[in-house]
Amino acid sequence: MRNSSAAWVRLASASAAPELDADYLELIAALRKLPQKQRIAIVLHHLVDLSVEQVAAETGSSPSAVKKQLTRGRSALSVLLADKGHVSADSAGLTPQKGTR
């Protein structure tokens, strides 16, 4: 009986998940619409914080190909997010940073 009670306590506290931000959900939806190579480059570079060279090593691409994918991905995200009117590529942190090109 004691183990059953402890399990219910653990399950009850796990069910209180934080509410997701609407901007975050829109960003995820927009990322899903990108071609796979662009999405991978954007996620690895901007969200995982890898350098262009590290992204190239992870994906088996050249650094110039990664830069092209990042540029095209940012451009596509800008259009997708601007359509929603809530998030821009700037506010999502997806604009080019100094030293990434």
92 contacts 77 by C-beta, under 8 angstroms: yes
Q: What percent of the chain has pLDDT over 70?
A: 64
Q: Which amino acid is at 73?
A: G
9 or 44: which leads in pLDDT: 44
pTM of the complete model: 0.66
CATH 3.40.50.300 fits 20-101, yes or no: no
pLDDT tens profile 4-39: 655 555 555 555 566 788 888 999 999 999 999 999
Task: Pick the more confident residue, 99 or 24.
Answer: 24
Instruction: Return the domain boundaries, the chain.
Output: 20-101
Q: Find the Cα–Cα–Cα–Cα dihedral 23, 28, 32, 33, rounded to 10°.
A: 10
Give the separation between CA 91 and CA 77, rounded to whole angstroms. 12
